[in-house]
Amino acid sequence: MSSTWHILGAGSLGSLWACRLARAGKAVRLILRDPQRLASYQHAGGLTLVEQDLPRHYAIPAETFDTPGPIHRLLVACKAYDAAPAVLRLAPRLVAGAEVVLLQNGLGSQDEVAEQVPHVRCLFASSTEGAFREQDWRVRFAGHGFNWLGDPCNPSVAACFDDLGDAGIPAQWSTDILTRLWRKLALNCAINPLTVLHDCRNGGLLEHLAEVGALCDELSGLLQRCGQPQAAEDLHEEVERVIVATAANYSSMYQDVRHGRRTEIHYLLGHACRAAARHGAPVPRLERLHQRLVDNLTARGLPGA
């Protein structure tokens, strides 16, 4: 197996990973969406990663989907709604047993990808690192954090995992990655939609703690029904801790809405509501929240899924 990393999506997290892997001497190639984006990238001459106000340039090679050649290691770093169609286009290039790391927030997109490429090993990731695009091909590393990677179908550590340590990407192999992803999804459902609906920073939810608490009760019940009791443990307490600790921040969903960007609602609150329906679990508050959020997004001209 070749150890070259192909990185699909040179946005915030894709660039952050690509630059760190490249500077550790790993072979990295970016896959860009079309010849126009490739021309724009080539004009810029590479990616710039800004860390602690220090910009550094990385002339990482790039290609498009149509470039021939096998892929053994793929990092999927696009948004959840773009992941499966993008990976499908790469399916003919992915060799049997290739390792595909899925960085998407929420749940649902990982299974959509896995269905498209049953011949590869899909690794699910949960990241608390933060990065944002200052402009095309220039990304700021905004928040140090951690990454968990795991494979719900196979507890053995993936071959690509060692490269992360070499590249200074803080990561741990997780044998309960679904629990982590469910927990993160539940935290997101309890906080992010309400920040959009109440038009506030996370700390603004301190004025709506009864509403938050009622959502946490429903989410805890749902997690139990979905076979994720550990993800439900002390959920309410952690949600309140996060609201206090991040009081001055705007949630990622709030920022997406504010910038007129499509949200990942379908893979967050939408996934929770679909899972509840599948398990026959009544979640009237979550459903009402989902409907209010969809109405709010639609009124702004943004997709409700």
Q: Which positions touch ligand NAP (CB under 6 A)?
A: 8-14, 31-33, 37, 77-80, 82, 86, 103-105, 127, 129-133, 264
Calpha distance 100→159 (Å, rounded): 11
Q: Which two tokens stand for residue 69?
A: 């050649």
**CB 213 to ligand NAP: min, Å:** 26
Residue closer to ligand NAP by CB (options 32, 160) is 32
Q: Are 202 and 246 in contact (CB under 8 A)?
A: yes
Angle between helices 177-197 and 209-225 (to 10 degrees): 150
Residue nearest to ligand NAP (CB): 11
- Name the residue nearer to ligand NAP (CB basis): 39 or 59: 39
State yes or no: is 184 an active-site residue.
Answer: yes
CA-to-CA distance for 122 and 304, rounded, in angstroms? Answer: 28
CB of 225 to ligand NAP, least distance (A): 25
Of 6, 93, 184, 225, catalytic? 184
DSSP alpha helix (H) spans, the chain: 12-23, 35-44, 80-90, 109-116, 161-166, 177-197, 209-225, 229-232, 235-245, 252-258, 269-279, 284-299
Closest separation in Å from C-beta 66 to ligand NAP: 12
> Measured from the CB of residue 188, what is the shortest distance to ligand NAP in angstroms?
9
Nearer CB in complex with ligand NAP: 11/203:
11
- Distance CA(24)–CA(47), nearest Å, equals 15
Nearer to ligand NAP, 15 or 220 (CB): 15
Catalytic residues: 184
